[in-house]
Copies of this chain bind each other. A is one copy, B any other.
Amino acid sequence: MSSPAAFDWLKSNEKASIDRWMDWLRIASISTDPAYKSDCRKAAEWCRDQFAELGFDAKLVETGEVKAGVGSGHPIVLATIDPAPGNKSPHVLFYGHYDVQPVDPLDLWESKPFEPVIKPAVAGGPGERVVARGAVDDKGQVMMFLEACRAWKELTGHPTGGAKFTVMVEGEEECGSGNLEPFVRAHKDLLSQCDVCLISDTGMLGRGKPAITYGVRGLAYTEITLHAANQDLHSGLWGGRCPNPITELTRVLAQLHDKKRRVTIPGFYDDVIPLSKKERANWKALKFNSIAALKKIGIGKDGDIGEAGFSAMEREWGRPTAEINGIWGGYTGKGAKTVIPAHASAKVSFRLVADQDPKKITKLFFKWLKANTPDGCRWELNDHHGGFGVTVPIDSPHLEFASRAIKKATGKRPALIKSGGSIPVAGMLKDVLKLDTIFMGFGLDDDRVHSPNEKFELDCFRWGARSHAAFIGELTQ
């Protein structure tokens, strides 16, 4: 069977594909919050049943609570399909995740996060989008693969056109994937038979511009609390004569970047590989309009800020960053309360580029905090999780399969890009199984990933399903 037949099937059966996708989106699988534990299991079971229906040997593998793994213990979907007799295609490991980010701030959602709706793709424009938490990250992208398998199954009786595939869909990607590495090590015999990993959790270069991502950033995520007094204090009686942990925390965090917006932690840049002239030239040729991108999120051109000496694209794809993802302390309710609190906290994360070790970066950060402990205060420091960044050789034959598949599915040769996001699993698979990863994703920059009103456009979903079907076609030719 040829890819065009699969394209036809996908087109004719699209409504049912979208209905299945929306069924999955209705399950509130927020992994980081223990209150949603049973929803996570439901989402895993739903996914397992889909692969089983397509003929995979599919099961849930239980995981346990892991140290420092908030909200951990969600099962992993493991599905395998044997090759058709005589098939010699590469053995692909497909990875995705069924868990999603928390939904707050809830009041900014225009529709309920777990009641998916179909809306116009852009106001007054053509096309449609599905709006829901997880629409694109990552249920929608896993669905592209599932529906591609369904097309091949319907047309050839084998969901991957005869090729051997192993599928691993985890439920802890949004809370650190604490159980994944132990799982991979425990299943090393099976998984190390794979030739390449396929991950569909990234984006395109832009609307109508398909891309293959050959590198993602790593991540180190921390939570820090600065303690001062052993009780909340009256700011009239104590203001001006003891440390205020909020004030002190802002004074420390304000030093995290220098005037050139470089991270000031000693040693932070030691393992950063400088961008090559060629890479910078390639990226420049993509003509990314950073000002237009900012405009879409309501920021003027004066907001085009970041590490001095690098373009926006270089800052996102090729340079490490430090971000404060959350901060809290003192009175945050309505009205006024004249309090000096006992402590103040922040969530601080770092995006890393290849060769920066998240454990080392966290250690350097904590060392820097301790060296900058404000007088009269003490730190409580927590390492939430991290993962290595990864860069795939652009001359890999598997990358070429994907590239040809996307050309067939979309009519356009994909751009080779990097992503500023983190997919720590890729770094781990390289480390444990020596596997390269192909990132074939169809998200858009404005998909509101991790934000209210997350969406995935149907045009993107279509391209994704077709490209995954064509990828199977290329593999099995």
With an 8 A cutoff between CB atoms, is A55 at the interface?
no
With an 8 A cutoff between CB atoms, is A278 at the interface?
no
A236 near B219: Cβ-Cβ < 8 Å:
yes
Given contacts A302-B376, A316-B240, contact A332 B321 (CB under 8 A): no
Given contacts A324-B250, A349-B235, contact A228 B303 (CB under 8 A): yes
With an 8 A cutoff between CB atoms, is A449 at the interface?
yes
| Min CB gap A283→B, angstroms | 13
With an 8 A cutoff between CB atoms, is A325 at the interface?
yes
Tell which of A175, A247, A306 has the most Cβ of chain B within 10 Å: A247
With an 8 A cutoff between CB atoms, is A414 at the interface?
no
Q: Which A43-86 residues have C-beta < 8 A from chain B? A: 70-71
A349 near B336: Cβ-Cβ < 8 Å:
yes
B71 near A335: Cβ-Cβ < 8 Å:
yes
* Chain A count of residues within 8 A CB distance of the other chain: 103
Q: Which A364-379 residues have C-beta < 8 A from chain B? A: 375-377
A323 near B105: Cβ-Cβ < 8 Å:
no
Instruction: Give the chain B neighbours of A231 by CB distance below 8 A.
Output: 108, 297-298, 448, 451-453
Instruction: Give the chain B neighbours of A217 by CB distance below 8 A.
Output: 236
Given contacts A316-B241, A351-B240, contact A330 B340 (CB under 8 A): no
Q: Which A304-357 residues have C-beta < 8 A from chain B? A: 304-307, 312, 315-316, 319, 321, 323-341, 344-347, 349, 351
Q: How many copies does the complex hold?
A: 2
Q: Which of B255, B335, B347, B421 contacts A336 (CB 8 A)?
A: B347
Given contacts A242-B305, A305-B375, A449-B237, contact A325 B335 (CB under 8 A): no
With an 8 A cutoff between CB atoms, is A166 at the interface?
no
Instruction: Give the chain B neighbours of A451 by CB distance below 8 A.
Output: 231-234, 339
A247-285 interface code vs B (CB 8 A; 1 in, 0 out)? 101110111110000000000000000000000000000
A101 near B337: Cβ-Cβ < 8 Å:
yes
B449 near A241: Cβ-Cβ < 8 Å:
no
With an 8 A cutoff between CB atoms, is A229 at the interface?
yes
B330 near A324: Cβ-Cβ < 8 Å:
yes
Tell which of A325, A336, A344 has the most Cβ of chain B within 10 Å: A336
Compute how far the CA of A351 lies from the CA of B453 in the bound complex, rounded to whole angstroms: 42
Instruction: Give the chain B neighbours of A344 by CB distance below 8 A.
Output: 327
Instruction: Give the chain B neighbours of A238 by CB distance below 8 A.
Output: 297, 316, 420
With an 8 A cutoff between CB atoms, is A384 at the interface?
yes
Instruction: Give the chain B neighbours of A347 by CB distance below 8 A.
Output: 330-332, 336-337
